[in-house]
Structure 1
Amino acid sequence: MNPMNWSVLSPEILLLAMTCLIALADLFVSSPRRGLTHGLSMIALAAVAALHLLGFQEGQTQYAFGNMVVSDPMGHLLAFFAVVATAVTLIYARPYAASREMLKGELHTLSLFALLGILVMISANHFLVIYLGLELMSLSLYALVALRRDHAPATEAAMKYFVLGALASGFLLYGLSMLYGATGALELGKVFEAIGSGQINAQVLVFGVVFIVAGLAFKLGVVPFHMWVPDVYQGAPTAVTLMIAAAPKLAAFAITIRLLVEGMIGLGKDWQQMLMVLSVCSLVLGNLAAIAQDNLKRLLAYSTISQLGFMLLGLTPTLIAGNTLSAANGYSSAMFYLVAYVLTTLAGFGVLLALTQRGFESEQVSDLAGLNRRSPLMAGIMALVMFSLAGIPPTVGFYAKLAVLQSLVSTNVPLYIGLAIVAVLLSLIGAYYYLRIVKVMYFDAPADSGPAAGELQLLPTEVRVVLGLNALLVLGFGLLPGGLMAWCADAIRMALAT
């Protein structure tokens, strides 16, 4: 048996090779539309997505590089959706970037390098590999936020993101070092065995877990480590905001499962209590703060905080009376919820990017006034997005919330049932600001600013097609959620089995 097993990392190797090729090819591209660069990027992403989908269908778990890397169905499924999210983001971003002199090779290459970091994080089975992927993703995103160099808010957002991101990385690295010092292992499987032996100082372990959870909470953007989310969402170019809002959340979920579940399930009673506090605080602050927002990107930032707080609820059930079924049910529900959130976020920001034509930034809630009269299609897609985020049937957001609540209630533990009730009540509060946007689009007088209906029809065909498919998926997975839910359940079950 080959201990290196390079084939396990074939999608990542292909992505790295294609990213280097695209960076070199872009040097010879003179067209401001960057057709060759964009085309090569789409081909690379399509090939990587196909490899991960094939890997998921094979359903095998393989280790490589001395067990530093793992290839399993959960990783393949999360990686597939991360690649698709990146491809959709680049398609939506192209007209926006072209009108703001951002359509350069760096936009594509930095996005692909960020995706490479995401894929490394998803496939990591070792502390050092996790940190390597995290830094590759983070450094690429910092540069993307500052890509529009003549835009002061973007530069300010990049500085805030960089400083706070470095602080969070320090938290995570310090927690990992504490865990290494206690267990003497860097590989997740050996850490699991060391914790299970019961021969390690529990205080040192819990101290390390606190810092690890803090670092993970920052990457997810949940309270009280949320301070960067509204400022970065608002200050970054809208296309880059979408890059931060979608695919990286899948990577953060993956390392949360790898570290907390696969490596430290023996400390579940400690970290699940931390996640409960993080989730409830995120639901409270996210929903209440979003009500006061007039800036759309800040509103969606606080919405993201509340949405990820809801997702964390699915990670709180661990072992109930020695039974792992509640844990698997909760983890698969959380994974489904996150995929649903990413699909919905892509569609929402897709509409915002479509409305930012000819230098106009559609960033205020009032900019959507009367959108139904200017473009019924865009208003319909945005309304579908708002209904999904609010958890209104028949959208995918409704079933995602229902799945998480069911995973809590099915434990028959009063604490989890209480958490479900709190989540429902806070979601009702959150429905206000989502329905407010629908009201503005359909019942307020049209705004004088913003693109006219004719300009919206000038969107590139690929943008209109992808946006339409995106909206159909938000509705389709709500009407027929069984297939995607089964994928998530199988992926989690096989991950826990190894």
Structure 2
Amino acid sequence: MIDNISWLAIYPEIVLLVMACVIALVDLGVKSRTRTPTYILTLLTLVVVAVLEAMYARNGTTFYGWGNMVVSDSMGSWLKCFAAVAMMITMVYGRPYAADRDMLRGGEMFTLSLLSLLGMFVMIGANNFLVVYLGLELLTLASYALVALRRDHSQSVEAAMKYFVLGAMASGFLLYGLSMIYGATGSLDIGQVFQAINGGQIRHQVLVFGTVFVVAGLGFKLGVVPFHMWVPDVYQGAPTAITLLIGSAPKLAAFGMTMRLLVDGLLPLAFDWQQMLMVMAVCSLLIGNLAGLQQTNIKRMLAYSTISQMGFVLLGLMSGVIHGNVDTSAVENAYSSAMFYVVTYVLTTLAAFGVILLLARDGFESEEISDFAGLNQRSPLYAGVMALCLFSMAGIPPMVGFYAKLSVLQALVSSGETSHIALAVFAVVMSLIGAFYYLRVVKVMYFDKPLTATNVSAPLDVRTVLTLNAAALLVLGLLPGGLMSLCADAIVRALAT
């Protein structure tokens, strides 16, 4: 019998699913080129869902439903809340761009975006291998369709095909790894898998082999080396509004899925998977920053930036357990710093792509770094917003990106391990190299002559949200304690259960 707790655990998901269907039906009668009724309904849905998740998170109660297949806890609720807010901002930034390129002909963009968010919610709230995979497939299938939304644009269709082929391969890796762990432990329940491994009655080699495939699947969703091949091509080829969607909220879902599988389920194998994360982090920082130096396309540059930024997240995730010993304070410090990093990175990405979308106009994409020449002379506000984003990504104080990097480095150094301290030094050196290609864009905006005299204009809702988005980067950089405490409390509550 299904109890009230089971329904309570998935109320936001039910709202999302029902409203996605309602919006698809309502849109059939909408004739507006900009799909205003559909757009407003979508934003209202996202606001309601974000408020619901914030209420769940503030309550702080952890409960399980549907035969322990779904979990609702503070960490998951905050990640879902932030994902809903990120999707809302994406819709605000992306609608004018999509309307100019005839991408709103049938309103699929709004419906598919809600379905992709539903997939993220399922991934974050999963407590069972089957539910994890169900959420992942719902997210990826909607994402494939969104990337190919400009059906008459060959570059978008090509990006969608690459994304589909590589995504299918990554899903296969993850499914194969999960099936091996199921075969070894006899359970699909993440909590029972943890207990079985902790009992020590299972062949270690089989579990490690399965863990390798699971980490490979997670590496693809995070976009880290050596599973990064899709990131630059999809970022560049997809319509910019869809690039923003793929590069923001799904990172929160990927982090949530990583926490569920590696920490909630496979923590006794931390010594094994942390080594894999360390190699992936080092390679991501190295290749992401060195390849970023060579880029002239800003979307491709930000793709390699994403790869290096996710390397920092992996550094946080791999510094929690020392020599197989689980120290509560070290684990909480490491994972909360990684969560803080992901949240602030998504916030920064939203504002950066918001400016790129602003500069694009009908028939002109504004994807080359040279397109930003003299932006300060054309629009000091938007040049300032982009500069704040780039400073934050480079880790320059007082931007929030500086504190995010500092918290991860502090988690590494506080472990006292020589290898971790060496990794921290390496990460700092890589950040210095990466700062070059961020500051190069700032130089182009402020010191190069403009190539066009076209004024930059935007609707009121876009200007308002973009200004608030940029202000948040500065305010959170000056006063990071509130968000850091929120992440730490969420991780503590998640680990306690």
Partner of 2:151: 149
The C-alpha deviation readout for 1:107-132, integer Å capped at 9, x for no partner, is 10000000000001000000000000
Match of 1:159 in 2: 161
Task: Spell out the pairing of 1:54-203 with structure 2 (5 A cutoff).
Answer: 54-104=55-105, 105-203=107-205
Are the equivalent residues in 2 in contact too, given 1:233–1:298 (CA < 8 A)? yes
Paired residues, number: 493
Amino acid at match of 1:200: I
CA drift of 1:3 comes to: 7.4
Q: Does 1:225 align with 2:224?
A: no
Residue 275 (structure 2) aligns with:
273
* DSSP-derived class of the 2:364 partner: coil
Q: Is the Cα contact below 8 Å between 1:3 and 1:66 reproduced in 2?
A: no
- Comparing 292-301 with 354-363, which one deviates more in the overlay? 354-363
Quote the offset at 1:318 in angstroms. 2.8
Q: 1:358 deviation in Å?
A: 2.4
Equivalents in 2 of 1:293, 1:120: separation in Å? 36
Identity of aligned residues (%): 64
> How far has the Cα of 1:134 moved from its partner?
0.2
- Larger deviation: 407-416 or 2-11? 2-11
Q: Quick check: 2:403–2:480 contact (8 Å CA) kept in 1?
A: yes
Contact kept, 8 Å, 2:5 with 2:63, in 1: the verdict is: no
Report the counterpart of residue 470 of structure 1 in structure 2. Answer: 469
Unaligned segments of structure 1, at least 5 residues: none
Deviation of 1:445 (Å): 1.0
Tell me the residue number matched to 2:493. Answer: 494
Which whole-Å CA distance do the structure 1 matches of 2:210 and 2:4 have between them?
Answer: 31
Query: What's the Cα RMSD here?
Result: 1.0
What is the CA distance between 1:4 and its match in structure 2? 6.1
Q: 1:310 — aligned with what?
A: 312
Matching residue of 1:255: 257
Matched position secondary structure for 2:232: helix
For 1:310-352, what per-residue CA distance to the aligned partner results, in whole angstroms no more than 9, with x for missing partners?
1110001233354221111010000000001000000000000
SS at match of 2:10: helix
**Distance of 2:286 and 2:150 partners within structure 1:** 34
Aligned to 2:416: 412
- Conserved 8 A contact 1:4-1:66: no
Distance (whole Å) between structure 2 residues aligned to residue 143 and residue 374 of structure 1:
36
Contact 2:320 2:326 in 1 (8 A): no
- Alpha-carbon deviation of 1:489? 0.1
Amino acid at match of 2:291: A
- TM-score, length-normalised on structure 1? 0.98
| DSSP 3-state at the match of 1:40 | helix
Contact 2:147 2:159 in 1 (8 A): yes
**Residue equivalent to 2:394:** 390
User: SS at 2:409's partner residue?
Assistant: helix
Aligned position for 1:423: 427
Equivalent residues of 2:62, 2:71 under 8 A apart: yes
Q: TM-score, normalised by structure 2?
A: 0.98
Counterpart secondary structure, 2:64: strand
1:117/1:133 contact within 8 Å kept = yes
- Structure 1 residues 65-74 or 98-107, which shifts more? 98-107
What do residues 221-264 of structure 1 show as CA deviations (whole Å, max 9, x unaligned)? Answer: 00000000000000000000000000001010001000000000
Query: Which residue does the alignment assign to 1:36?
Result: 37
Q: Distance in 2 between matches of 1:370 and 1:223?
A: 34
- Per the TM alignment, residue 5 of structure 1 is displaced from its structure 2 partner at its CA by 1.9
Runs of 4+ in 1 over 6 A off after TM superposition: none
User: Hey, what does 2:478 align to over in structure 1?
Assistant: 479
The alpha carbon displacement at 1:430 in A equals 0.3
Is the contact between residue 3 and residue 65 of structure 1 (CA under 8 Å) also seen in structure 2?
Answer: no
Return the alpha-carbon distance in structure 1 between the equivalents of residues 7 and 354 of structure 2: 37
Query: d(CA) in 2 for partners of 1:203 and 1:96?
Result: 51
Contact 1:283–1:307 (Cα < 8 Å) also in 2: yes
Deviation per residue, 1:165-215 (Å, 9 max, x gap): 000000000000000000000000000000001010000000000000000
Contact kept in structure 1, 2:173 and 2:213, CA below 8 Å? yes
Matched residue, 1:337: 341
